[in-house]
Structure 1
Amino acid sequence: MLLVDASRGIDDDTRRITGALRERGRRSILGLNKIDLVRRDRLLGLADALSRQGRFDPIFMISGLRGDGVEDVKLHLAASLPAGPWLFPEDQLSDASERLIAAEVTREQVFLQLHDEIPYASTVETEQWEDRRDGSVRIEQVIYVQRPGQRAIVLGEGGKRIKSIGARARAELEHMLDRRVHLFLFVKVRENWVEDRERFEALGLDYDI
């Protein structure tokens, strides 16, 4: 499934992905998100332009903020999955490592709180994970951005933004892990992180697509 920020339109990354899908002859699902920020005529034009760039069926109109179209996507994906035997225990929600899941929790907070300033210019890596004797866990993570100006945005005035991101991510992690979490966040500049093949492969993603 290709998810496109409708408010940003078709950028170079989207063209690269649709081109790769077209070359491979793959039919894909298309989701246009943030439709609440786009006029209807522009939205229909965007859907038409993307349809001409690749084979998309169906196309979903989504507003993650308002929840519009989200349930339709879930139902379609569930219905499209082939039946098969359980590959993991019933109570195991993911085969991803706890380190990776923790990084995604923090990354979600970065997106939720800074979606206008740096929507896709950051990533999060869990550098250290220490299980402590009292049952709690100490987690150190680095938020990587592409430019020094983005680092300042993530930190916020007087560190207010990074504290807010950390507080909400910590609460989510404590709920998920069912134990106390000591979360420490750092922000660093890594200009070419989007071109880091090892980073993509660690996430289980195809770097070449």
Structure 2
Amino acid sequence: MENKKFKSGFITIIGRPNVGKSTLLNRFVGQKVAIMSDKAQTTRNRIQGVVTDEESQIVFIDTPGVHKPKHALGDFMLNAAYSALKGVDGILVVVNASEKIGPGDRLVIERVKQANIPVFLVINKIDLVTPDELLPIIDTYRQEHDFDEIYPISATEGNNVDALIQGIKEIIPEGPQYYPADQVMDHPEYFIVAEFIREKILELTREEIPHSVAVQVESMRRNEDDKIEIQAAIIVERSSQKGIIIGAQGSMIKKIGQRARRDIEILLGDKVYLDLWVKVQKNWRDRRTQLNDFGYRPDNY
């Protein structure tokens, strides 16, 4: 029997904010690599998740939700989303089954029309609609674009995700294994750790802290207690935000630290000591030099 050739390829996940792209990436990879929040715009950089088995390796590129930018950080996020459509083998356009098609979805579909690679429509959150509602939804999107394949799925429940993976395997070319089989992400741990801390801030502070928050991991090293000691600064734009993040008698920053530490320990497979503090830097989102300091460097993407 002839040996099957190994296949590998790059797949971009794109869609407007809050359709479940990061949840889908985490479902593909089988562990947490992208931060999830029910606030729009949590993914800022193109996180790559890697899925490897005996016959193939798929590298997923997650993109920030496509939206109209309001500041320099917004411009950067939009450019990152669109640049992720170049040099890949396929595109997954993710939409939300439980919301009507909107201008954001149409903007994404417009962008992928020029792509001369397979484009799959992934209708996520089907657990929130009835089967009868699904067919009209599929028809609506069919009228917008002639997608190569349409997959109704639930990223949270896992429905139909295996079929989607099979579909992706069919379109990727023969190629090498780009990453070691046990590697599930292409971002250095500093970046993922910073993202986990930011996720907890968004979760716990809700409306009070908008996206004007960044996290800078200053150092990660093993200390004398054999724990990984992480020093990280939380950057906000106003001193009132600093007060919210610290909380009464430091209660909020303690909670953020505890929750983030749990995720980081799972990620690193090690005991972690996490030291957090808060810095105020006014209008950092509009200063390109500071965007670079916080890891939003256009040349990385």
- Whether TM-score is above 0.5 comes out as yes
Over aligned residue pairs, what C-alpha RMSD do you find? 4.4
Tell me whether 1:206 sits opposite 2:298 in the alignment: yes
Residue identity in the other structure for 1:118? I
Q: Higher helix fraction: Structure 1 or Structure 2? A: 1
For 1:18 and 1:100, locate their aligned partners in 2 and report how far apart those are by CA, in whole Å. 16
Separation in 2, partners of 1:17, 1:199 = 9
- Counterpart amino acid of 2:17? V
For 2:107, the aligned partner's letter is: L
Q: How does 1:48-59 map to 2 (within 5 A)?
A: 50=107, 54-55=111-112
Whole-angstrom CA distance in 1 between matches of 2:292 and 2:122: 26
User: Given the alignment of the two structures, is residue 91 of structure 1 paired with residue 170 of structure 2, yes or no?
Assistant: no
Distance 1:113 1:127 in 2: 23
Partner of 2:219, secondary structure, is strand
Q: Equivalent residue for 2:69?
A: 12
Instruction: Please give the residue correspondences for 1:23-38 in structure 2 after superposition, counting only pairs within 5 Å.
Output: 31=94
Moved more, 154-163 or 134-143: 154-163
Opposite residue 231 of structure 2, the aligned amino acid is E
Say whether residues 1:186 and 2:199 are aligned partners.
no
1:54–1:180 distance in 2 versus 1, CA, 3 Å: same
Instruction: Give the C-alpha shift of residue 143 in structure 1.
Output: 0.8
- Using structure 1 for the length normalisation, give the TM-score: 0.67
Larger C-alpha radius of gyration, 1 or 2? Answer: 2
Offset, 1:148: 2.1
Q: Quickly say closer, same or farther: Cα 1:121–1:90, change in 2 above 3 A.
A: same
Q: For the residues of structure 1 that align with 2:296 and 2:205, how far apart are their CA atoms?
A: 25
Q: Secondary structure at the match of 1:167?
A: helix
Which letter maps to 1:112? E
1:113 is matched with which residue? 204
Task: Report the Cα offset of residue 147 of structure 1.
Answer: 2.1
Q: Give the count of matched residue pairs.
A: 200
1:114 partner letter: T
Instruction: Flag structure 1 segments of 5+ consecutive residues without an equivalent.
Output: none
- Which residue of structure 2 lines up, in the alignment, with residue 196 of structure 1? 288
Match of 2:61 in 1: none
1:139 to 230, 248, 251: 230
Q: CA offsets, 1:32-79, max 9 Å, x none?
A: 67x87xxx4xx434446635874476666656xx99555578947x82
Q: Tell me if structure 2 keeps the 8 A contact 1:135–1:179.
A: no
- Answer whether contact 2:93 2:109 (CA < 8 A) is retained: no
2:221 maps to what in 1?
130
Q: How far 1:155 moved relative to its partner?
A: 1.9
Q: State the match for 1:172 in structure 2.
A: 263
